[in-house]
């Protein structure tokens, strides 16, 4: 086994739109393990929109990503050396290994979690049966809580989170309308994921135009909305929302590079007595077992579908991440490290 670890660090903070120059690839020696530690060979790295916010040195729900340290990120891999009683060589694990090929981790509860790959592919634990899937589950079940026959709208519907939201909503008897960028993604959302309708937001340059399309797609109005984007999409949805509608605020990618995202008609919150609630899924760990049980069961039954975009090699991570922020990925964005 190699004694060298390749890592990508955050070299500088972006001003506006990030670039590959904000990252730096380094090689470091793999240290000897202490008692209780394990060495994990990371097989896949997860790229997620939240990473963009962590690159800024601003107040947020989590501390900024430190400069000159390994970029944060979820990983799945295999234990290749162990001095822990809790893990054996060959165990498959999921954790926050970051943008690197190897991870030295304490074998303490919570840092690494063993996963069973007998029926679920290893990389799915970074997507539909991992943090994105749990994010979808929590926002839908604990905030939107759709009833049979209600209408749920999902932005970024072909993505890692949105694709699961829609399928879980259909399982609960809701009418589901997706928003995605481009005809190929919209076809996938309807034909493969089972949404009732999908609107190509790129065909609508402003909130009024998109709202008109939503009026056609949602003849009974909108009861629940899972928000991943913000901007004019949120304004368009609010124009069509029913009284006592619920919005789960998961992400606002339209403003991640510092673009202003003002709400055009905030009075609709009062007029419609709307509930708008932001959430961070890592603050609700008590729900993870329940969510994982349902997600795993649906996958095993063939009722949970997903798509992946896979970049090859650690070197490709910065470009793949920048593409994710521009919507170039299709489904869950991963980096294959082995």
Flag whether 300 is in a domain.
no
Report if residue 302 sits inside a domain.
no
* Boundary (domain end) residue, out of 247, 265, 282: 282
- Judge whether 38 lies within some domain: yes
Q: What is the DSSP letter of 73?
A: -
Which tens digits make up the pLDDT trace of 203-244? 999 999 999 999 999 999 999 999 999 999 999 999 999 999
CA geometry: angle 102, 105, 106, nearest 5 deg: 165
Claim to verify: residue 185 and residue 233 sit in the same structural domain: yes
Q: Which of 104-118, 154-168, 199-213, 291-305 has the lowest mean pLDDT?
A: 104-118
Q: Kindly tell me the burial class for residue 83, based on how many C-beta atoms sit within 10 Å of its own C-beta (0-12, 13-18, 19 or more).
A: middle
Looking at the structure, tell me whether residues 273 and 315 fall in a common domain.
no
Per-residue H/E/C for 239-302: HHEEEEEEEEECCCHHHCCCCCCCCCCCHHHHHCCCEEEECCHHHCHHHHHHHHHHHHHHHHCC
My answer on whether 168 and 265 are in the same domain is yes
Domain range enclosing 221? 131-282
Band the pLDDT of 253: cuts 50, 70, 90: confident
| CATH number reported for the structural domain that contains residue 16 in this entry | 3.90.180.10
Q: Tell whether 254 and 317 lie within a shared domain.
A: no
Q: What integer is the mean pLDDT of 104-110?
A: 85
Report the C-alpha gap between 142 and 162 in whole angstroms: 16
Has residue 321 been placed in a domain? yes
Residues 87 and 63 occupy one common structural domain? yes
278 and 153, same domain (yes or no)? yes
Q: What percent of the chain has pLDDT over 70?
A: 99
Query: What mean pLDDT is predicted for residues 8-12?
Result: 97
Pair (216, 323) in one structural domain? no
Same domain, 24 and 117: yes
Q: Please check whether residues 251 and 191 belong to one and the same domain.
A: yes
Structural domain contains residue 293: no
Same domain for 315 and 211: no
pLDDT of residue 152: 98
Residues 237 and 101 in one domain: no
pLDDT of residue 90: 98
291: in domain: no
Same domain, 157 and 274: yes
Which has more confidence, 1 or 334? 334
| Structural domain includes residue 172 | yes
Split at pLDDT 50, 70, 90, the class of 276 is very high
CATH number for the domain spanning 222: value is: 3.40.50.720
CA-to-CA distance for 141 and 48, rounded, in angstroms? 22
Examine residue 294 and state whether it is found in any structural domain, yes or no.
Answer: no
CB-based contact 213:205 (threshold 8 Å)? no
Place of tokens 């040195």: 57
Look at residue 31 in the predicted model and tell me its pLDDT. 94
β-strand 102-106 against 92-95: which pairing, if any? unpaired
Question: Mean per-residue pLDDT for 98-124?
Answer: 93
Cα 336 to Cα 141, 204, 213, 238, distances in angstroms: 32, 35, 38, 39
Percent of the chain with pLDDT over 90: 90
Average pLDDT over residues 296-308: 95
Q: What is the mean pLDDT of residues 246-254?
A: 90
State how many domains the chain has: 2
The structure tokens 């009418």 sit at: 175
């Amino acid at each position: 086994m190699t004694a060298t670890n390749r890592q990508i660090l955050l070299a500088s903070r972006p001003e506006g739109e990030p670039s590959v120059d904000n990252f730096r690839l380094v090689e470091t020696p793999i240290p000897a393990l202490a008692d209780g530690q394990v060495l994990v060979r990371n097989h896949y790295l997860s790229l997620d929109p939240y990473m963009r916010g962590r690159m800024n040195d601003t107040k947020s729900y989590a501390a900024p990503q430190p400069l000159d340290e390994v970029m944060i990120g979820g990983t799945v891999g295999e234990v290749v050396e162990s001095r822990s009683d809790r893990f054996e060589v060959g165990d498959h694990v999921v954790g926050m290994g970051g943008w690197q090929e190897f991870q030295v981790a304490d074998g303490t509860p919570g840092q690494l979690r063993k996963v069973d790959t007998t029926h679920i592919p290893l990389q799915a634990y970074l997507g539909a049966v991992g943090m994105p899937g749990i994010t979808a589950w929590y926002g839908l079940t604990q905030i939107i809580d759709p009833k049979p026959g209600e209408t749920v709208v999902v932005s970024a519907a072909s993505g890692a989170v949105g694709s699961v939201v829609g399928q879980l909503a259909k399982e609960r008897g809701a009418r589901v309308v997706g928003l995605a960028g481009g005809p190929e993604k919209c076809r996938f959302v309807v034909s493969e994921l089972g949404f009732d309708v999908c609107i190509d937001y790129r065909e609508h340059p402003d909130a009024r135009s998109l709202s008109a399309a939503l009026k056609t797609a949602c003849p009974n109005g909108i009861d629940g909305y899972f928000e991943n984007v913000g901007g004019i999409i949120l304004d368009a949805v609010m124009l069509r929302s029913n009284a006592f509608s619920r919005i789960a605020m998961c992400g606002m990618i339209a403003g991640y590079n510092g673009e202003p995202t003002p709400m055009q008609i905030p009075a609709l919150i009062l007029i419609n007595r709307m509930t708008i609630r932001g959430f961070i899924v890592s603050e609700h760990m008590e729900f993870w077992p329940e969510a994982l049980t349902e997600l795993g069961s649906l996958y095993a039954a063939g009722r949970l579908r997903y798509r992946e975009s896979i970049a090859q090699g650690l070197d490709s991570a910065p470009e793949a991440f920048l593409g994710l922020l521009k919507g170039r990925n299709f489904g869950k964005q991963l980096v294959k490290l082995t």
